[in-house]
Structure formats: structure tokens, C-alpha cells
Amino acid sequence: MPIISDTAESLHGPQVVALVYDGLCTFEFGIAAEIFGIARPEMGPGWYRFASAAIEPGPLRALGGLQVLADGGIDLLESADVIIVPGWCGAEAAVPTALIESLVAAHRRGCCLVSICSGAFVLAATGLLDGRRVTTHWRYAEALRRRFPALLVDEAALYHGEDRIFTSAGSAAGIDLMIELVRRDFGAEKANSVARRIVMPAHRSGGQAQFLERPVAVRRETTLGPLLDEVRGGLARRWTIARMAKAVNMSRRTFERRFVEATGLGPGDWLVAERIEAAKDLLTTTTAPMEEIAAAVGFGTAHSLRHHFRARVRLTPSAYRQEFMHIAASDVRA
């Protein structure tokens, strides 16, 4: 029998169920288990409960020569609040009819459906994604379009989500999406706490407008780490490249080179991106006017905020607030 800790037994939060199948993608399943299955007593008794559900009889194998014993079978989906589909076993692999029916029924009763990487093929097989914008790993995008022509496949996105159905790109993008789900359910502070524990950035929130033109940080140089934290903590201040370079005792040329190596972005682009993310949090967690938000995050004026926000997010700040404040309010679970 699977081992369930006393901590897990005392939880009464949302029930997260990850699918297990023969040929399981170990890393993608591990993402779900890492975010939702690890004991986090600091989060309180309302934190997630986690279980694994085998969709077929065993023995089940996972990538890397592992054998998997799940917590239960497909009947666990009947009590799930969130169902996670790890990367599927193949773009052309058939999805069992019983699984399709269970996923459709779960969504109909209010369950959230989530896929990581090629798990999008499973959700697509339900028909629930027809006419929706979705994503998957760029290597599978064309196959997903070909097999499910009713989908709007966006291979440039890290993740997409609407109406309680979420799809994410490659494996690492699944982590971004899982953290985003935590943010929607429990708020930015707890999402940031989870991200810190797994040493991941928590600032790439924002649902349907996350594009790979904003690259994942390559590494975080120890010489720049304190500066990045200082800038994030004081976005309203006037940060120039020269000022940042001086703060770490580098020439401007050396600083710009080291900055790109450490973050994947130039200093100016990184600063704008950080200000946008801070603005997103204020837009969805406060009713502050645009001028106040613009000043708080360092854009100065509402006009400047709208200009940069629309260029990066493809929405106006007002439209973003209207869409995502509503989602955050309706999706948070006590």
C-alpha cells in the first residue's frame, strides 16, 4: 500500500490527482508530485491533497526503468478537484475511452484539468479543447494540429488556460503552470514560497500571454543576485543601466554581458519584465487606480504602463484586471 503521512491525512484542501500509465513520463509526473504532494505544514491544513491514479492495470513502468504503484485507479478522478495529465506516451497513442469519459465528467462537475507537455493530446481527445487556444511542446505542435484540427495550437506559449482547462509546453513549462495554479488558488505569497523551495522564479504568472520571447533565466550569478533582489524590492526607483553597473562595481559593457549570461535578458528588457509582473499582481490583488500602479512599479505614468503592458501581454491593464481578477476570485479555494 502507498505510504500516506499523518500530515497528508490531516489536510482538507483541494484534491489533486495525477494520472499514471504504462510508459509514464517520470519527470512530468514528478513535477506534479513535487508541487502538490510534498508535505508543506507551513501552508496550513487547507493545502492540497495529492494522489496518483492508474488508468490501466499494472504492472506500470515509468521512464528510467521504474515500476509504479499508484494510490488507486481511475475511480479517484471522481473526487478530484484538479486532474493532472503528465506527458503522454506518444502523439499517436490512443487515449482510453474510459479515461476520456472520466475527464469529461470531471470537468462538467467543476474539476480543473491540466496537462504537461504532450499530455495535451489526452485533453484534446476529450473534445473539450475544440476551438480553444492551447499549447504543447514545440516538437509536438504540428502533430497536435494534424490530429486535432479544431484546436488553436500556440507553440510559442509557456501555457494557456481558460474555463478550468490548462495546457503547458515542455516539461519545465509545466513547473511554471503548477506555480501559477498555486497562485490562483492560494495567492502570490504562497506561490512564491513554493517557488523558492524548488529554486524556481515565481514571476512568470499571467495565463494566456506567456511567450517564449521572455526566456527562462539561464543562471543566477552570485555577483548579480543581490542587485536583482534590490531592484525587485525597489521597482519604483529610477534604475538605469549605469546605476546598476555601478552598484556591482562593473563597467557598463561587462555588466550588460554578465547580465545577459545570468538572466537571458538585457538589463532594460529584464527591468520592464519585472515591472510588468509587479503590475500584474497589483492589478489582480488591489483596486488601485492605474496612475498609482504605474508609480508603484516604476513606469511613472498610466500611459507608460499601458504602452509596455500591451506590448508584452497583448492586453491592456484594464482588460487584464477584468479577466484575471475575476478568475482569481472565483478559483481560490478555502
Answer whether residue 208 shows pLDDT above 60. no
Among residues of the chain, what percentage have pLDDT more than 90?
60
Mention the CATH class of domain 225-331: mainly alpha
pLDDT of residue 197: 83
Average pLDDT, the chain: 85
CA distance 244 to 257: 13
pLDDT tens-place string over residues 244-264: 999 999 999 999 999 988 887
- At 216, list the grid cell: 527562462
Where residue 214 falls among pLDDT bands split at 50, 70, 90? very low
Q: Which of 130-144, 251-265, 294-308, 314-328 has the highest mean pLDDT?
A: 294-308
What b/e readout covers 102-133, taking b as 16+ CB neighbours within 10 angstroms?
bbeebbeeebbbbbbbbbbbbbbbbebbeebe
Question: CA-CA distance, 319 to 206, in Å (whole number)?
Answer: 12
Mean pLDDT of 263-288: 90
Q: What's the pTM? A: 0.64
Of the candidates 158, 72, 163, 75, the residue with the CA atom closest to the CA atom of residue 123: 163
Domain ranges, ordered by start, for the chain: 6-209, 225-331
Q: Is the pLDDT of residue 148 over 50?
A: yes
Position 8 scores a pLDDT of: 57
What pLDDT, on the 0 to 100 scale, is given for residue 10? 83
pLDDT digits (tens, 9 = 90+) for 15-67: 999 999 999 999 999 999 999 999 898 899 999 999 999 999 988 999 888 99
Could you say which architecture CATH assigns to the domain 6-209?
A: 3-Layer(aba) Sandwich (3.40)
Rounded to the nearest 10 degrees, the angle between the axes of helix 317-331 and helix 267-285 is 50
pLDDT tens readout for residues 300-315: 999 999 999 988 887 8
Please state the rounded mean pLDDT for residues 97-117.
Answer: 96
Q: How far is CA 232 from CA 238, 249, 251, 271, 320, in A?
A: 12, 19, 22, 9, 22
Q: Is residue 218 pLDDT above 90, yes or no?
A: no
Residue 241 has what pLDDT?
A: 95
Average pLDDT, integer, range 103-124: 96
